[in-house]
């Protein structure tokens, strides 16, 4: 995706008409029947382009982040099959299901497939996300495994009921955060915040509408951490519905407030021609980091009826200018080496399934202490925040015992060279020591 | 409390039946009469076990954090006596009281006792917390002095009114944050986030229920900083009531959004057997740090009718692996010494009634600058963010004048050795300098 | 403004009667007519006193922050003229306008004047702020360019409709954050959080009321980042209205939750004589940093009918103890020099239109890498997060090419001395290198 020069968007009424591509292979295909709607979600490692020249190494369902948009009607029976083609345990938490799910689709080992059926009996805009169990729920969701499911209500929204209209454009919009390491994940400091998988996606490719159109936003704040206020510049909502349930109607308003896993249905009539920004109004922590888009309204424009929340599958750059790898080691400007000098105490945390700092440079003879800051230390493997370290390459090969929360391990490194190490319980967790 | 292996919880329908102990000595005992319900709150220093091998040095009412659960009915007269058996000024802010409270129970010097009476005339789920006045309100609440008070409504909730049911289990659930220093308190970066006083308390000891039970959550977000989205995995709320007031009914929803001091009453019918996690869906900043529990549903299980929000009083470990001391000096892995080298500018902040960094190591002849980052610098003593420093032990004994906000004090240290110092206005504030 | 000793406020019923000054020159003067209400907003650089001895260098409309309070009635025609007397591009986003605004009043070059007209047809409490376009929206709002506009409803609030009362005091209260640099802006870590432009403004000068008075808060959370829970100590709200719209009524409650750009109308009857604190109940991140005020109630007191949200225009201190300059270089205790030693990797970020760190001290021969962490890199000039560096003074004069997001520039500095540099695209962005 190339970035067009955008100055003209603000200066002319003639709107861009190109539309962000939707990769149909990433759409789940429900099989409509009187009995059941079926979806398949495939858990896997995936590397995605999330800004120009910027790639992210994480986990996905079906190769995109956000994952497939699951659309059903209130009262539908739903069958979701989760296939794990990855090398680690995955699972599913699906907020639209009011039933026991943990026993059915959590804790899905590598190679396994499980199926959940449920009746979608409460309308709303819901999050779903990976849920291997325990600690892995947090880290896998952070790693990119999330999507939107909408249960359309039987009861009508006010737009249909009172105004006799239907939405001209349905915009399924998921806001989500990207982290470059587990420490920032624990601190709530994302590197990026995006709508539908790419920074400023709908600035690059505005959503085309006509003046007078009713846009229905199905807005989901995926988080996993921050609270958002969704707002349109030049817009006051007509109606908004917390959690997307028509029983909870609010009138007017410049913004809707959502925490992670909260959602809204918003109906808004585009009041005029021209560009309308939509943003998370948390300007520094969110909007400036990617959470801005544009509605571009023009008389008689060709416009889409649906904008899908599914993320993009763009070609990977051959020479990425930035690699974001929350668990492993990314680009040196974001995963900076910390250079220690004689006398400095050297601690490395295990936190959010990453090491912090990921790279340390230390003088010969320095004692290094690892401390496990992950708190959820029950269960095993992917489902636990237990950690250990094992040097896989270096002048000396050593390993720690398994560390529970707040346990420490320390070693004095007396041979120069570069040491690569992992957590054997989460082998994608990578660290490096340079002994100088 | 030992941590059982929890894998089986996710794998079997047979639920754990052991229940987290409730220390009845920490329960306030209201004296029911036609006139008044009486409670006594005792302000004191307390050290508590908050995770396995992890202890916290702070303040409490009645020796637990959360403090006693205060239950009254709408229209009751309430009498609360606050006794201060500590060495510093304390007080009380009680959100259920719509009356002048500051003149009655704030600013309670060491050794004093004061009483507040009020009529509980607005139903809801309320926070109470220490309120000596001014700056001390913030730091004492952060230090552990908070609890829940519920005013049960005369008007019925929909569960009773429309469905003709009553809750089978009342779960009084307080979410609260633990800080290891005042800098993190100002930055909103808690070390832990817990339900009812202990990390993953109800993962270790799940709450037992039966399928079909209605659970009423009295959910209070104590904060003191973060916004939470409370969610049950596999659950959609039947009804939720912002602030716990039956006049504010919402339908459905996967999560409820609360800031610090916000609350909800939530009614939810357990839809099936098996384990249901409940979490703050802020996954990195909260859930991964302790804010997860389990409802374990089994047919015909013996289950409690009430889960109290009162914190645990567990034995202190003889060899704690971690000491959290927000104002003094805790374990070296969380209150790390910062080692300075020749040429480094050395600043120490006073912030949130702690020094930051708490321990500095500096070469002989280094100039150290203290700067007061606490902003509320009116009032006196515990009620103020004025600070000074006084060396209590070391090669040279010195002291600063009293510093208002943004005031600075600096000194050059020319004698090697270890210097221990305090803020004489808040003598539990401790710092250390090692001159090498 | 001098700070009175405030101890007595908590100890006596006799309230302070002095009132915070309102500078009438900073009030916009609507010209009432049957046709239109007119306001003029003047964009400019301004330095303001925001705490005793503390000054802030930023941007304003009309020389105050918050900017003029704009009051209209539902159905009014509104005409707002924006004059840019600054040296950089500004603009306006006005949340009360449900119409195309970007084409009318965004992108206003230095020296230009533009006018927007709209019909205020949705009641509420609204934010307005600078909006040059794109990235500049975030940074200029952070820099101080924001204000409140209220559209009074035709429909009555419950106080008038059900109780037959009108508010005795209207308190227009804007909560807003102050940042000392762009890194903290991106991380959501404000230095201060204030009501109406000055830390603890209404602690210093309490708002006088009478017991039994109805206070109507027009509460606006400007942000630009944090979520607030507004609360009165000793108070339970009578009614609260999300977004200030009478159609959205809530009953009771200890606090109201708002994200940036959210608002409430709150009606509360002062229940007794004495002081009542009002706070953001996010105690560490907000209240302790300035977001506390006092209602001081006394029988028969002379009290104001209106408290304006407009910021103060106090004399600047001749010897400020702290200079907050989010884009340039402020006081050394907040914009600390980072002293690097041989071997340390040296990175300087461009972030939120500031350098981070702003001052680096490096050994001769060190390689410095600048990396652009601003993400919005389309558009040009003030409207873009593109950056470059240009040395304006130093032993060597050099400049970088224009950097898009995640682009890097590095140079090895081999001549000792002090180098001053700027971003020529945002010339108020300043950095310094000391080569030693």
Mean pLDDT of C36-60: 97
Mean pLDDT of B407-430: 98
User: Which of A120, A43, A108 minimizes the C-alpha distance to A79?
Assistant: A120
Distance CA B395, CA C31 (A): 71
User: Last residue of some domain: B260, B287, B307?
Assistant: B307
Instruction: Give residue A18's pLDDT band: very low, low, confident or very high (50, 70, 90).
Output: very low
**A312 falls within a domain:** no
Closest chain A C-alpha to C9 CA, distance in angstroms: 36
Residue C330 has what DSSP assignment?
A: -
Check whether residue A236 and residue A384 sit in a common domain: no
Q: Is the pLDDT assigned to residue A270 strictly greater than 60?
A: yes
pLDDT, position B35: 64
Residue C282 has φ and ψ, to the nearest 5°, of -80, 95
Please, how many CA atoms are within 13 Å of residue A371, restricted to the half-sphere of its CB? Answer: 15
Mean pLDDT of B319-346: 97
**C369 falls within a domain:** yes
Average pLDDT, rounded, for chain B: 93
Distance, first Cα to last Cα, chain C: 43
Q: Is the pLDDT assigned to residue C1 strictly greater than 50?
A: no
Encode pLDDT of A387-399 as tens digits. 999 999 999 999 9
pLDDT, position B166: 98
Is the omega angle on the peptide bond into residue C357 within 30 degrees of 0, that is, cis?
yes
| C243 has a chain A CB within 8 A of its CB | yes
Q: Print the domain residue range for A365.
A: 336-435
Encode pLDDT of C18-36 as tens digits. 333 333 333 344 554 456 8
Q: Is the pLDDT assigned to residue C146 strictly greater than 90?
A: yes
Q: Is the pLDDT assigned to residue B86 strictly greater than 90?
A: yes
Question: Which parts of B are annotated binding residues for Cu cation?
Answer: 90, 95, 129-130, 140, 145, 281
CATH number at residue B395: 2.60.40.420
| C160 has a chain A CB within 8 A of its CB | no
Check whether residue C293 and residue C346 sit in a common domain: no
Contacts of B188 in chain C (CB under 8 A): 188-189, 282, 284-285
Closest alpha carbon within chain A to C93: A233
Check whether residue B259 and residue B348 sit in a common domain: no
Contacts of C182 in chain A (CB under 8 A): 284
Residues linked to residue C241 through DSSP beta bridges, in sequence order? C265
What is this structure's pTM?
0.94
Distance CA C347, CA C256 (A): 42
Distance CA C342, CA C337 (A): 16
Average pLDDT, rounded, for chain A: 93
Of C192, C235, C285, the CB nearest to B188: C285
Task: Give residue for tokens 């009295």.
Answer: B218
pLDDT, position B13: 26
Encode pLDDT of C263-315 as tens digits. 999 999 999 999 999 999 999 999 999 999 999 999 999 999 999 999 999 99
Distance CA C146, CA B281 (A): 32
Contacts of A262 in chain B (CB under 8 A): 229, 254-255, 257
Check whether residue A374 and residue A287 sit in a common domain: no
Q: Over chain B, what HEC string results?
A: CCCCCCHHHHHCCCCCCCCCCCCHHHCCCCCCCCCCEEEEEEEEEEEEEEECCEEEEEEEECCECCCCCEEEECCCEEEEEEEECCCCCECCEECCCCCCCHHHHCCECCCCEEEEEEECCCCEEEEEECCCCCHHHHHHHHCCCEEEEEEECCCCCHHHHCCCCCCCEEEEEEEEEECCCHHHHHHCCCCEEEECCECCHHHHCCEEECCCCEEEEEEEEEECCCCEEEEECCCCCCEEEECCCCCCCEECCCCEEECCCCEEEEEEECCCCEEEEEEECCCCCCHHHCCEEEEEECCCCCCCCEECCCCCCCCCCCCCCEEECCCCCCCCCCCCEEECCCCCCEEEEEECCEEECCEEEECCCEEEEEEECCCCCCCCHHHCCCECCEEEECCCCCECCCECCCCEEEEEECCCEEEEEEECCEEEEEEEEEEC
pLDDT, position C19: 33
Distance, first Cα to last Cα, chain B: 43
Q: Is the pLDDT assigned to residue A15 strictly greater than 60?
A: no
**A313 falls within a domain:** no
Neighbours of B268 (CB within 10 A): 24
- Contact assignment for C283 to B138 by CB distance below 8 Å: yes
- Contact assignment for A10 to C376 by CB distance below 8 Å: no
Distance CA C138, CA C354 (A): 13
**C317 falls within a domain:** no
Q: Is the pLDDT assigned to residue A23 strictly greater than 70?
A: no
Task: Give residue for tokens 């996954």.
Answer: B283
Task: Give residue for tokens 């005793």.
Answer: C52
Number of domains in chain C: 2
Closest chain A C-alpha to C289 CA, distance in angstroms: 19
Check whether residue B27 and residue B172 sit in a common domain: yes
Encode pLDDT of C123-142 as tens digits. 999 999 999 999 999 999 99
Task: Give residue for tokens 């972030």.
Answer: C351
**B369 falls within a domain:** yes
Check whether residue B301 and residue B354 sit in a common domain: no
Encode pLDDT of A28-55 as tens digits. 445 544 568 999 999 999 999 999 999 9
Check whether residue B161 and residue B295 sit in a common domain: yes
Encode pLDDT of C358-401 as tens digits. 999 999 999 999 999 999 999 999 999 999 999 999 999 999 99
pLDDT, position C34: 56
Instruction: Give residue B16's pLDDT band: very low, low, confident or very high (50, 70, 90).
Output: very low
**C412 falls within a domain:** yes
High-pLDDT (> 70) share of chain B, %: 92
Encode pLDDT of B247-282 as tens digits. 999 999 999 999 999 999 999 999 999 999 999 999
User: Last residue of some domain: C287, C307, C327?
Assistant: C307
**B49 falls within a domain:** yes
Check whether residue A244 and residue A349 sit in a common domain: no
**C13 falls within a domain:** yes
Specify the higher pLDDT residue, C319 or A30. C319
Check whether residue C124 and residue C230 sit in a common domain: yes
| C43 has a chain B CB within 8 A of its CB | no
Encode pLDDT of B215-233 as tens digits. 999 999 999 999 999 999 9
Q: Is the pLDDT assigned to residue B316 strictly greater than 80?
A: yes
Encode pLDDT of A218-269 as tens digits. 999 999 999 999 999 999 999 999 999 999 999 999 999 999 999 999 999 9
C-alpha angle A154-A159-A160 in degrees, rounded to nearest 5? 50
**Strand arrangement, sheet containing C292-297:** C207-209, C292-297, C274-280, C228-232, C256-258
Query: Is B5 exposed, middle or buried (CB count within 10 Å of its CB: 0-12, 13-18, 19+)?
Result: exposed
| A333 has a chain C CB within 8 A of its CB | yes
Using only C-alpha atoms, chain C has a radius of gyration, in whole angstroms, of: 23
Q: Is the pLDDT assigned to residue B30 strictly greater than 80?
A: no
Residues linked to residue B39 through DSSP beta bridges, in sequence order? B80
Check whether residue B358 and residue B298 sit in a common domain: no
Check whether residue A206 and residue A134 sit in a common domain: yes
Check whether residue B151 and residue B193 sit in a common domain: yes
Using an 8 Å Cβ cutoff, are A327 and A375 in contact?
Answer: no
pLDDT, position C35: 65
Average pLDDT, rounded, for chain C: 93
Residue A104 has what DSSP assignment?
A: H
Encode pLDDT of A359-416 as tens digits. 999 999 999 999 999 999 999 999 999 999 999 999 999 999 999 999 999 999 999 9
Distance CA A185, CA A177 (A): 9
Q: What is the DSSP secondary-structure string of C400-431?
A: PPPB-TT-EEEEEE-S-EEEEEEETTEEEEEE
pLDDT, position A35: 65
Instruction: Give residue A90's pLDDT band: very low, low, confident or very high (50, 70, 90).
Output: very high
Q: Is the pLDDT assigned to residue B381 strictly greater than 90?
A: yes
Q: Is the pLDDT assigned to residue A329 strictly greater than 50?
A: yes
């Amino acid at each position: 995706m190339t970035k067009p020069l955008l100055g003209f968007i603000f200066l002319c009424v003639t709107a861009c008409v190109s539309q962000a591509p939707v990769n149909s292979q990433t759409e789940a295909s429900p099989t409509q029947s009187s009995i059941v709607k079926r979806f398949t979600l495939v858990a896997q490692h995936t590397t995605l382009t999330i800004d120009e020249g910027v790639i992210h190494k994480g986990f996905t369902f079906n190769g995109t982040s956000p994952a497939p948009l699951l659309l059903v009607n209130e009262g539908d029976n739903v069958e979701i099959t989760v296939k794990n083609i990855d090398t680690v345990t995955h699972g599913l938490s699906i907020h639209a299901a009011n039933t026991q799910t943990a026993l059915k689709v959590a804790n899905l080992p590598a190679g396994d497939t499980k199926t959940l059926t449920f009746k979608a009996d409460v309308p709303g805009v819901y999050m779903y996300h990976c849920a291997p169990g325990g600690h892995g729920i947090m880290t896998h969701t952070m790693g990119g495994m999330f999507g939107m499911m909408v249960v359309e209500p039987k009861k009508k929204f006010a737009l249909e009921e009172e105004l006799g209209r239907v939405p001209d454009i349905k915009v399924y919009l998921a806001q989500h955060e990207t982290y470059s390491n587990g420490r920032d994940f624990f601190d709530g400091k994302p590197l990026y915040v995006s709508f539908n998988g790419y920074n400023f996606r709908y600035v690059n490719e505005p959503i085309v509408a006509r003046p007078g159109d009713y846009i229905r936003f199905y807005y989901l704040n995926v988080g996993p951490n921050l609270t958002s206020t969704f707002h349109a510049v030049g817009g006051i909502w007509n109606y908004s519905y917390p959690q997307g349930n028509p029983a909870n109607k609010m009138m007017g308003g410049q913004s809707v407030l959502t925490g992670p896993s909260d959602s809204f249905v918003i109906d808004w009539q585009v009041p005029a021609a021209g560009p309308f920004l939509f943003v998370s109004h948390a300007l520094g922590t969110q909007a400036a980091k990617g959470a801005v888009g544009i509605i571009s309204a023009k008389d008689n424009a060709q416009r889409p009826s649906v904008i899908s929340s599914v993320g993009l599958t763009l070609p990977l750059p051959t020479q990425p200018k930035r690699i974001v790898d929350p668990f492993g080691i990314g680009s040196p400007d974001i995963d900076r080496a910390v250079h220690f000098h004689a006398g400095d105490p050297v601690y490395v945390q295990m936190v959010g399934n990453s090491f912090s700092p990921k790279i340390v440079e230390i003088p010969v003879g320095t004692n290094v202490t690892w401390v496990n800051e992950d708190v959820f230390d029950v269960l095993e493997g992917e489902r636990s925040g237990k950690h250990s370290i094992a040097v896989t390459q270096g002048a000396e090969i050593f390993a720690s015992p398994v560390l529970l929360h707040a346990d420490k391990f320390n070693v004095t490194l007396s041979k120069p060279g570069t040491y690569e190490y992992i957590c054997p319980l989460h082998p994608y967790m990578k660290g490096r020591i340079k002994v100088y």
